[in-house]
Every structure is written in structure tokens, then in C-alpha cells.
A and B are shown apart, each in its own frame.
Chain A
Amino acid sequence: MSDATLDPRLTSGRVAPKRAMRLSWSDPRFRAIVWQVVILGGVAAVVWYLIHNTSQNLASRRIATGFGFLTRTAGIPIGESLISYNPAEDTYGRALLIGVLNTLKVAVVGIVLATILGTLIGIGRLSKNWLMARLTAFYVETIRDIPLLLQLLFWYTILQGLPAPRNALSIGGAVWLSNRGLKLPTLNWETAHTVALLMFIVGIVGTWWWNRRARLLQEATGDRPAVWPVAVGMLLALPLLVWAVLGAPFQWDVPALHGFNFTGGANISPEYFALLLGLVTYTAGYIAEIVRSGIQAVPMGQWEAAGALGLKRGAVLRRIVLPQALRVIVPPMTSQYLNLIKNSSLAVAIGYQDLVSVANTTLNQTGQAIEGIAVIMAVYLTISLSISLFMNWYNAHIALVER
């Protein structure tokens, strides 16, 4: 508890005089110390007992402890990986790193998609259209009552039951869906694209600077120069112009069927697709409820009062309603993001090689159970704690400042 919340009479120098602690059961401070010693002692004894047993068991099974196995050759085949990997040469350490990257890959994309879908459904639940409101309510109710693992298995079987590449379902001849996964066309990346991207980043900085200048000017004079023409110019026109000057390269790499499989384009494996689909649809059900309650938490009077002050609807939403709704939304949203990340560990059930899956194979191959589980827990704890810290900071940033 921080000092600010203490009773002011106590903090203004009227602290009770310190007395020497008596070694008697009637002294609360003495009791507190005894209790803590007893409880900590008990816990320490249990922990010591478990460690003692474990070390004896490990010795009798001739399992060496330690993380030495991380530098040994893994030999785990890994289907998809963001970095290069060769099972015959690379180590367990690198295999686990790929697992972490695969976890992050599904988590980041999942969080973005679940937020979008969840927000849409949450807004849909507040729709004045009865059909829309009932349909989204039905979705939220149903999707949250079915275990995620069951949903994942269901999606995975559906994807496995799709036709073979030869009879793949196609959207416009460019996107192909088969039991080998989803094939997407990719852009042939050229220097012009990199430069255009750089210009876009320059545009973001420029727009931010112009917006700041406009705000300062408004505070000083009351006149606000228009921001949107500059924003459009810097964010859209500048990158497009540069791209056009550099020859406007625009070439798609479209997947095409050769023999039994596709070549070209990007591939989304059925495992990744099923996991992403399950995580996104499941988490969106929870996010929808959070968004709905967040919007409902802002009283109508806020809209009306802001309108009475002459603010435009967009400004009301941006400056009055959203800041208040976000304050309600952010904490539960954080825990949903964390849940999504933790739930991505169910990948192991459908064969997507995330951290848990790779670590599980590792501990089965090496027998290093304790180390394997320690790696899993350490990685998830690091992710969880860093997101919590960031969100706590953000939450403090947007929190209501009272007196």
C-alpha cells in the first residue's frame, strides 16, 4: 500500500512510539515473525524433500541434469520455421528457438485478427438491428461454451478433409485451399517497394510532426490548420510517387499446380491455419463481450454533453467516449491477449510445432524433463510478464487522473 492512501493523521509525524518487541505470544510482531518462520520453514522443507527425491531418482536413472543438451544436434524434423533449420546439423537450442518463433507467429497474428473480429462482433451485439444483435449474441454464447481444444480438433479435421491439391478449391485462380493448406500469391519484392515503405515511415513521422504543430498552433491562436491533406500527401502520395518514379514494379508470384503440389506463392500450413482459426474465433467471443461492456460503460450523457458543446461526432468518439471506454476495456483485454498466447500451446494437439510441441519432443528424446518444462515455463512467464508490464504502463498512462 502506498503512503498516499495512509491515514493523514498517521503520516503527519504522529507515528506510534516504537517499542521493543517482546518475546511473547501476545505481541503481534512476535507472532507475525513466528508464523512466517513456521510457514516458510514448512514450504522450504517440502521443496527440499522434493529436490532430494528428484536428485536421487535422477541419479538412479542415470539422467544428467543441466542444459548441456541445448547444444546437441536435435534431429527433430520441423515443418515450418521462420529461420533456416536443418535437423541433421542444428541443435536443440535452435529447435526450441524456432518453437518460440512459431508461438509468437501464431500469437501476434492471432491477437490482431481476434481484436478486429471481436470488436466487430462486440459492436454488432449493440446493433439496433435485432437480427444482427441476436446473431452475434448467439455466436458469443456458443463459441465460449465449447472447449478450445475441441474446436481446434474440429477445424483441423475439416481442413484435413479438404480435397487434395489437384482438386483444390480456388478463389480467382490465385488463392488455393487444399488439404496441404492455404496457398496465397505473394508480391515479388523489389528495391522500389523497400524505398516506398521507407517513404511511408517518413510519412508517418511527418504527419505526426504536422499534427503536433497544428495542435500547438491551435493552443496558441485557436486556429487549427487542416491536417488531413498533409496526411494524405505524406502517407499515400509520397510512397506512391516514389514507387512510380522507380518504374512501378508490380508482379505477383501466383501459386500454380505442378504435379502433386503447388509451386510459388506463400503457404499457410493446415496446422497453422487450424490453430489460428480456432484461437481467433474463440478469443473473439471473449473480446466481443469486453468491447460491448466497455462501450456500454460510457453513459449516454457523455455523448449528449459532448454534442451540446458542439463537438463533431468523430471528435466525440475520439476525445470523449473512446478514452473512457478504453479505461474499462484495457485490463480485461490484456488478460485475453495473455490467454490467447497461453492457449496457443494447444498447438501440440494438432501438430503445429510451437514451443510446447518442440519442447515436448525434446524432453521425450533427451529425457531432460525438468529442463524442458523449465524452458516452456520460462518463455511463457517472460512473455506474460512483459505484456503485463507494458499493459500496466499503458493502463497507468490512460488512467483517470484524480486530484
Chain B
Amino acid sequence: MSMTSSVARPLPVPSRDAPAGAGALAWLKTNLFPTWISTAVTLALGYIIVRIIIAFVSWALFNAIWTVPYSANGIAQTAVCQNIKGIGACWAVIADKYRLILFGRYPYDEQWRPAIVVLIFIGLYAVSAMRRFWRKELVLIWAAALTVVGVLMWGGVFGLPVVSDDQWGGLPITLILATFGLAFGFPLAVLVALGRRSTHLPAVKTLCVVYVELIRGVPLISVLFMASVMFPLFMPAGVNIDKLLRAQIAIILFAAAYLAEVVRGGLQALPKGQAEAADALGLSYWKKTGFIVLPQALRLVIPPLVNTFIGFFKDTSLVLIIGLFDLLTMGKVALSDPPWQSFSTEVYITLALIYIAFCFAMSRYSRGLERELGASQRR
């Protein structure tokens, strides 16, 4: 759907040439030094920024230490890092711990499996971002990708050794919690949103409203606490569901409530005439919903959907509080190693960069999409 180019322009747009005297100097004059106040702001900000950049670069690059010697029994000798603490960064902690931070306690020789899983997730996001895959087959792609993820992580088939999920950790856990949360939360969210919009089923509508408002009214951490201490009580005696699955269920239920509101926004934005026309053609409720309403409504909400996903991608870090080994928790675990205890800034900056890489790509994408879809919506 390349509607962007089809927007008719009634009048030729006047050419937007820069005024005479264009060039670097003119640009500086209009954008940095137009008035006395603006000049003062530019100079003050410029000074502060330059100072900060110089301080940061000399800390992070010029004065940094990249490797440390190890003693005979393999313990890192961090005295050299301790000496320059505050003056230079000690990136040796990342060099020492990056496998632990990224893949947790997954057996060292099998860590190519979570590495491939991370790549599969990135590929899955990339495929879902492409317009030409926005069709029903995308569901199959997701199902296939998530199955492969499960097989790779657990193993037990194709000669892969079994790795139980209490050994999983790091980035794959973060990606699994977020992606499975979306994959299972989304269908639930669509049902809840439809239920909330239904006019003929007041009881179902009430149920959906209560569910959405209840979940959205409480912090995620209380839902996670519920999963970690109350779910075991819910199960019949002798049945145990493990910690990761409990947290995953909590995230799915939590995500579904937020996604339901996003989907409801799309349903509301769709002109009523669409549903009425479908009714007039005599389509059943499910045909009307499946063929007319949802395909249009869901297309409208893809940008806010991505934004919601960014939100709970970050929120998965809360599983730290209930003791699951996601990326952030592994950072803390790495820092609990005595030689590295005082180098938290380096580790936190690295973790932040990983989160930023994912979130920034997604938010850029969603903003571009919003602009594009917006261009075709505006008339």
C-alpha cells in the first residue's frame, strides 16, 4: 500500500529554496545565534556539552582499561582498575563477563543455541516490520519461529542436549518474555477488546472492562508477585509450574490488558459504516469481524502496538525482583563477583546500550510508520 505518493496536491508547492546567502554561516545565524538570548543559550549549552563529552570520552576511551591480568587460579586482578576508578572506565569487566551477561548460566559449550535464538528474534522483528508480510501468513511465521526458539532452548531433539529452563538467562530470557508476551497476549487482547465493544453481551462486556481496568490499575510488580507466590497455591497439590512459566503467564495477562486498549482504539477509529455495510451484506458476526473490521482496525494500531511492545520489552526487566535471570539480573549477577563489585557503572552502561539498541530501532520504526500511515489517512 504505497499511498504516500497518491495524495493529490491541489496546488503546486512553492519551491522552498533557502533565502539568499544560504550556507553554513547563514544556517548558524538562523539556528544558533539569531538573538542575544539564543546566542547566550547556545554558548552556555555548548560549553556544558563539550565539557561533558570530553570528560566522558576520556573516561570511557582514553583512560579506559580493556584487559586485566588473571592470577594462576583464574581470578581477575583488578587492582589496576581500582587505581583509576573515577578517572578511567574498566571495560575488562565486560570482556570477562559478557558471555554470562548475554546468555546467563546456559552451558558454556551450548551457548551458540541462545545466540541463534537472539538472531531468530531479531529476524522475526525485522520480518514483522515489513509491509509485504502483513498478512495471515505472518501468524505461521511467528508460530514457526517460536517453535524453533523452544526447540533450540530446551533441546532434547535432533541430538541437542536438554537444557532445563532454570539454566536459561540473559538476553534470550528478556526476548522470550517480551515476544511470547506479545504472541499470546495479542489474541487474548483482540478477544477482550471485541468483548469490551460488544453491545449485545453486557455481562461479557463487564467482565472485559473489569479485567482491563484491574490489570491496568495495578503495577506490573504486583502481578509478578502474584505469579510467584500465588500461582503455586492455585494449582492442585503436586502440580508445579516453574518460575519462568509463571512469570511468562503474568506478563501475558498484563500485556493483554494494555494491548486490548490499543486494539480498542483501532476498533473505535474505524468508521461505523464498515460494520454496518458488512451487516447489510448479511455477514455473520465472526465473518464481519474477521474479514472487514479487524484487518482494517489492526492496521491502524500498528504504531501504538509497537510502542506498547517497547514498553513491556523494558518492563520484562522487572522479573529481577522475583529472581528470574533476565539481562538486567545477569548484569547484577556479574557484579556480585568480588573482583568486579565496584564496576557497576560500566556494566549498567553496557546493559543500557543493549536496551537502547532494541528500543531505539523499534521506536524509530514506529514513528516512521506513523508518519507514513498518517500521510495516507490525512485528506
> Chain A residues in contact with chain B, CB under 8 A?
1, 28-29, 32, 35-36, 39-40, 43, 50, 53-54, 56-58, 60, 127-132, 135, 141-142, 144-150, 153-154, 157-158, 161, 342-343, 345-346, 348-349, 356, 360, 363, 369-370, 373, 376-377, 380-381, 384-385
Contact = CB atoms under 8 A, between A and B. Distances in A.
B225 interface: yes
Contacts of A40: 203-204, 207
A8 to B, nearest CB: 16
B237 A153 contact: no
Given A146-B314, A342-B219, A376-B218, 13 more contacts: A28-B200, A36-B204, A145-B310, A145-B314, A145-B355, A145-B356, A146-B352, A146-B356, A148-B314, A343-B219, A360-B225, A381-B218, A384-B218
16 contacts: A28-B200, A53-B235, A131-B49, A135-B45, A144-B359, A145-B356, A146-B314, A153-B344, A345-B219, A369-B233, A370-B230, A373-B222, A376-B218, A376-B225, A380-B217, A380-B219
A384 B217 contact: yes
B46 interface: yes
Contact of B32 (A129, A150, A345, A376): A129
B201 A35 contact: yes
B226 interface: yes
Contacts of A53: 233-237
Contacts, number: 157
Contacts of A369: 229-230, 233
The size class of the interface chain B forms with chain A is 35 or more
> Max chain B CB contacts within 10 Å: which of A146, A158, A343, A380?
A146
B226 A373 contact: yes
A131 B46 contact: yes
A147 B225 CA distance: 19
Contacts of A356: 219, 221-222, 225
A157 B345 contact: yes
Interface of B: 31-32, 34, 38, 41-42, 45-46, 49, 199-204, 207, 213-214, 216-222, 225-226, 229-230, 232-237, 310, 314-315, 317-318, 320-321, 328, 332, 342, 344-345, 348, 351-352, 355-356, 359-360, 363
A251 to B, nearest CB: 36
A294 B339 CA distance: 50
A128 B31 contact: yes
Contact of B318 (A54, A60, A149, A373): A149
B61 to A, nearest CB: 19
Q: Which 4 A-B pairs have the closest CB atoms?
A: A130-B31, A145-B359, A342-B219, A384-B217
